[in-house]
Amino acid sequence: MNKYLTGARHRFRPSFILWLTIMWCLLMGEFTWANVFGGMLVGLGIVFFLPLPAMPISELNVSWGRLIRYMFIWTGELLWASVKVGWIAIRPGEKPKNAILRGPMRVENELVLSFAVVLYNLQPGGTVAEIDIANRMLTVHVLDATTQADIDREVANLVSLERRMISIFEGKHK
């Protein structure tokens, strides 16, 4: 099988057109025959005139157990980061010091790199400012970097995210 899905045969997937049709109807606010027909036309137009780029998806070797376990861990970290940023916003005293840090993200697949960036950006308190694809480095902005321990913790979080992405998507699984 070709590792890049190209051509009209792979472009017109009924499930994708159905999903676009449903999204169109939700945007319009009601399911009528006109909205369904219009959504199908919009969906067909999108997949025909705006095709997605080919992605090497056959290289991914997803460990579903590790992925599900990480989603629970990530949700807990999301809740903790939300509480932490909320406390920073309402606490009395000085504003916290910010920092720009660089950390490795040595994943092989660019799709996995984009997953890692999205997961980091969705957590409150930090955001990816730059992606150096050639050297596989992320430059991140950190909200609370008052002490060296805070900086070390954020670098450790980046390294942990890197290890987990490799373990989930690029590791050799049984």
Give the Å distances, CA to CA, from 76 to 70, 123, 144, 163.
10, 11, 19, 18
Q: Which residues is 132 bridged to in the sheet?
A: 137
State the Cα–Cα distance between residues 135 and 165, nearest whole angstrom.
17
pLDDT by residue for the chain (174 residues), tens only, comes to 455 445 566 667 788 889 999 999 999 999 999 999 999 999 999 888 887 776 666 667 889 999 999 999 999 999 999 999 999 999 988 888 999 999 999 998 888 999 999 999 999 999 999 999 999 899 999 998 989 999 999 999 999 999 999 999 987 654
State the Cα–Cα distance between residues 41 and 17, nearest whole angstrom.
9
The continuous run of DSSP H or E covering 101 comes out as strand 99-104
State the Cα–Cα distance between residues 52 and 4, nearest whole angstrom.
11
Query: Residue ranges per domain, the chain?
Result: 7-54, 59-170
State the Cα–Cα distance between residues 148 and 104, nearest whole angstrom.
19
